[in-house]
Amino acid sequence: MKKVAVIMGSDSDLPVVEKCIDELKKYDIPTEVHVYSAHRTPDEAISFAKAAEENGFGVIISAAGKAAHLGGVLAANTVLPIVGIPIKASALDGMDALLSTVQMPPGIPVASIAIDGAKNAAIFAAEILAVSDVALRTRLWEERRKSHDAVIEKDVAVSAKFN
């Protein structure tokens, strides 16, 4: 199975990013985690992205707040899918990071998840890998069924109380 890289712009992003790491572990996806800043350690971020495919990665998850250029820097240096997690890290409640993540120029895409949407970033990365991994795809469907069943149970409980 291909690995997933989780790159955060600062260790202050870790409380959000841990949800992503935990979700990737749930699916037994090999994961590597780093702190590389688009602005403070651009050479390291670029070097990582350029070597990622050769090093066995299938997806890179980028988590950054404020002027969230990390996803773009990574995307400019690889053709692997980049999944951006905009982090709520300023008075703008993450809107600055969201716009920095989604407003990429043509030819350099970064997929964006919701602000602080770390769990969905991991699931989306798993779905990308599942295109060529039947066992992983089966596990994703199992989780969807569990989620469905949990909502149905809540519906039954609420309906019984009020109907």
Residue 100 marked in a binding site: no
Residue 40 marked in a binding site: yes
Same domain, 99 and 139: no
CATH number of domain containing 74: 3.40.50.1970
Whole-structure pTM value:
0.95
HEC profile for the chain? CCEEEEEECCHHHHHHHHHHHHHHHHCCCCEEEEECCCCCCHHHHHHHHHHHCCCCEEEEEEEEECCCCHHHHHHCCCCCCEEEEEECCCCCCCHHHHHHHHCCCCCCCCEECCCCCHHHHHHHHHHHHHCCCHHHHHHHHHHHHHHHHHHHHHHHHHHHHHC
pLDDT in tens, 54-102: 999 999 999 999 989 999 999 999 999 999 999 999 889 999 999 999 9
Residue 13 marked in a binding site: yes
Same domain, 81 and 42: yes
Same domain, 81 and 30: yes
